[in-house]
Chain A
Amino acid sequence: MKKTQDKRVQPKVKSSPLKVFNRRDFFNTVWKGLGLLAAFEMAGIFTAYLFSGKRKSIPEPGQLIEAGLAESFAPNSVTPFMGGRFYLARQKDGGFIALSLRCTHLGCSIAWEEKQNRFICPCHSSAFAINGEVLNPPASRALDFYPVMIDNGLIKVDIGTLKERNSFRKDQLQYA
Chain B
Amino acid sequence: MGSVFLHLHPKRVTEASVQFNRTFGLGGMAALLIVIQIITGVLLRFYYAPYPAEAYNSILFLKNQVLFGQFIRNIHYWSGVFLLMIAFLHFIRVFFTGAYRDIRNINWLLGLVLLILVVLLNFTGYLLPWDQLAYWAITVSTNIIGYLPFAGETLRTMIIGGKELNASTLQSFYAFHTAVFPLLLLLIVTYHFWRVRKAGGILTQHTSEEPVMIPVVPNLVFKEVIVALVLVAALFTFAVFFNAPLLEKANPTFSMNPTKAPWYFAGVQELLIHFNPLFAAFIIPFGVLSFLALIPFLQYQELPNGIWFISEKGQHSAKSTAKFSAVLTIICIVLNQYILKFEILLSPLPAFVSNGIVPLLILFLLLTVFYRFYLKPIKLNKEELVQAAFVFILTAFIILTLTGIFFRGKDMELTFPWNI
Contact = CB atoms under 8 A, between A and B. Distances in A.
Contact of A55 (B166, B254, B277): B166
B167 A108 contact: no
Contacts of B411: 120, 122, 125
Interface string A82-122: 10010000000000000001000111111100000000111
Given A122-B259, A137-B343, A140-B351, A51 B158 contact: yes
Contact of B355 (A108, A122, A138): A138
A126 to B, nearest CB: 9
Given A51-B158, A106-B139, A101 B253 contact: yes
A85 B343 contact: no
Interface residues of A, number: 25
A123 interface: yes
Contact of B276 (A51, A120, A140): A140
B164 interface: yes
A111 B254 CA distance: 8
B160 to A, nearest CB: 9
A138 B143 CA distance: 14
Contacts of B255: 108-111, 121-123
A73 to B, nearest CB: 20
A138 to B, nearest CB: 6
Contacts of B140: 106-108, 123
A122 B341 contact: no
Nearest to B253: A82
A57 B164 contact: yes
B289 interface: no
Given A55-B162, A111-B257, A138-B272, A125 B168 contact: no
Contacts of B168: 54-55
B161 A54 contact: yes
B412 A122 contact: yes
Interface in A115-161: 120-125, 137-138, 140
A112 B4 CA distance: 62
A56 B162 contact: yes
A125 to B, nearest CB: 4
B353 to A, nearest CB: 11
Contacts, number: 84
A109 B254 contact: yes
Contacts of B144: 106
Contacts of B341: 137
A59 interface: yes
Contacts of B252: 85, 109
Contact of B259 (A123, A137, A138): A123
Nearest to A85: B253
B281 to A, nearest CB: 9
A135 to B, nearest CB: 10
Nearest to B270: A124
B163 A137 contact: no
Interface string B151-181: 0000000100111101110000000000000
Interface of B: 136, 139-140, 143-144, 158, 161-164, 166-168, 252-259, 269, 272-273, 276-277, 341, 343-344, 351, 355, 411-413
Interface of A: 51, 54-57, 59, 82, 85, 101, 105-111, 120-125, 137-138, 140
Given A106-B139, A106-B143, A138-B276, 17 more contacts: A51-B158, A54-B168, A55-B161, A56-B161, A57-B162, A57-B163, A82-B253, A101-B253, A106-B140, A107-B143, A108-B255, A109-B255, A110-B255, A137-B344, A138-B343, A138-B355, A140-B276
29 contacts: A51-B158, A55-B166, A57-B166, A105-B143, A105-B277, A106-B272, A107-B139, A107-B164, A109-B253, A109-B254, A111-B255, A111-B257, A120-B411, A122-B255, A122-B256, A122-B259, A122-B411, A123-B136, A123-B140, A123-B259, A123-B412, A124-B272, A125-B412, A137-B344, A138-B272, A138-B273, A138-B276, A138-B277, A140-B355
Q: Give 10 closest A-B pairs by Cβ, nearest first.
A: A122-B257, A140-B351, A137-B343, A107-B143, A106-B143, A108-B255, A57-B162, A123-B259, A109-B255, A54-B161
